[in-house]
Amino acid sequence: ISTQVRPVAKGHVGPATAADIRPSAAKIPSKLATTTEAKSAYRNVVSGINETKMKPTVTISNRSSTGSNLSHSGPMLQAKSTTGGPPMILPDLKSQVPQKVRQMTVTRMYEQFLRIYKPLDDHMLLAFQHSENQERKIHQSSVNQAGYKQSAAGVLGRLKKRLPSENKDDVGIDGEWTEKMSQQKTGMRSELQQYILTEEQLEKMNYPLADALEISQSIDSSVGIERQCDRCTKSFIVKDILTKQDMELCRYHHGRIRKIKVHGEYERLYYCCNSPPESLGCTTGPHVYKDETIEALAKRIPFSSVKPVSGASKYIRQIIALDCEMAYTTAGMELVRISAIDEFNETIMDELVLPQHMVVDLNSRYSGIQTLRGAKYNLQDIQLMLSKFMDEHTILAGHGLENDLKALRIFHPNIVDTVALYPHPNGLPYRYGLRFLANKYLQRFIQDSSDGHDSFEDAKTSLDLIKLKVEKGMCKMSNPDDHD
């Protein structure tokens, strides 16, 4: 006799009711020779139902997010979650450990395995299976509740220290996962050693060096001082309160001059409006300025080196790719956003930053920042947050990172810069733009929004270019006229 079992309510694993089990129409002959034969067949079916009621066999089939079928028939010790959550521990009268304690343990392990396997496509299924296996292994090897808790605490501590998996081979429960996987994670940092900028390169690219740490703050404000506008090059007096007229004093071109072919001949024109270099600016705004030298920057806001926070060693990353956005203030350019990710593309931070001085212009066309509403941290907070994730061995990566470190007021010796990895054939100060490199080598279009740059997107693009460099080595660049 065949029976059909209706879907059971979520979490229900008890015996099926009479209403849950019905005769299978497929098993009753569609054509019977006599009424006697029909009655006989029906009695046989009913008899089968009664037997099934006495000893029901309920099959619960769950399908994971990856499509794997997890089916269990007959007596079940553990019920699988149908929503991608942790395994469910069912009561076990023979266990020395309460169900509540076991459930809390397997849930915490599931959370850790979910974090570790997050980069993998089947991370939810792996986290489910390995947290179940890990808890079962601890339970089977423990003789009492105290021993169970002690073993579980040790395993959880080690799981928390594990970095996210790089590939499908970098998996396994505690006790089976080996350090060879961890050693593979140092491979990228080892391969990047040859690309770390030398002190000579750092100086040539105008990075802050160690001597910047010796310059103390001596300038508090530039309000009332005459400066040269960074956009139109005219002289102006810095103000902290701007009138409507002040907001339109500067006329400038926001685009660069490029060689554009017009009627068969190349002409130098601004790409923002296709006007010649001597033309009046096509955009208006307030006068702004920025300090260029390390000394001038340090006298206004001093530099510092990142010092690891005590007890934060488990958070230290080997590689951090970052990108910053800056805005014009009465003190020049200051940090207003930072995005940082590690070598596994995990977000370390993505925060708006409150500048120390009055904002003159958010530079939205390039920074992408329309407002600082919701910003919770200042520059010192960001420096402290970074110190939780990096030490003197951490490699900082990015594109044109000298500007980011100036905004962060940080000196750090281990730098990998995509400007140096993909050099312009004419040498510095010529350099390829990140947008061009992303298009050419990653077939990716970035910075094409009218809302400005996205620092998170730029940080990830820089990291991907670095990984490509490690994988394939030096690439031949195209014609220098192609850069932006």
Q: What is the pLDDT of residues 466-483, one digit of tens each?
A: 999 988 875 444 444 444
What is the identity of the amino acid at 71?
Answer: S
Higher confidence at residue 310 or residue 258? 258
Of 182, 160, 158, 159, the C-alpha closest to 169 is 182
Cβ burial of 191 (10 Å; 0-12, 13-18, 19+) is middle
The residue ranking higher by pLDDT, 185 or 198, is 198
Q: Beta partners for 326? A: 335
- The answer to whether the beta carbons of residues 225 and 238 sit under 8 Å apart is yes
- Helix (H) or strand (E) segment spanning residue 181: helix 179-185
For the stretch 27-30, contacts whose Cβ atoms lie closer than 8 Å and that sit 24 or more positions apart, written own/partner, are 27/1, 27/2
pTM for the structure as a whole: 0.61
pLDDT tens digits for 254-273?
A: 888 888 888 888 889 998 89
Calculate mean pLDDT across residues 20-45: 46
Task: Note the pLDDT of residue 43.
Answer: 52
Query: Which amino acid, residue 247?
Result: M
Q: What is the pLDDT of residues 266-298, one digit of tens each?
A: 889 998 898 999 999 999 999 999 998 999 999
Count of beta carbons in the 10 Å neighbourhood of residue 331: 23
CA 81 – CA 87 distance, rounded (Å): 6
As a three-state string, the secondary structure of 40-86 is HHHHHHHHHHHHHHHCCCCEEEEECCCCCEEEEECCCCEECCCCCCC
| CA dist., res. 60 & res. 58, Å (int) | 6
pLDDT at res. 233? 93
Comparing CA positions, the residue from 55, 54, 62, 49 lying closest to residue 3 is: 49
Tell which wins on pLDDT, 45 or 359. 359
Yes or no: say if 159 and 174 are a contact pair by the CB < 8 Å rule: yes
401, HSE (Cβ side, Cα atoms, 13 Å): 30
As a whole number of angstroms, the longest Cα–Cα distance in the chain is: 112
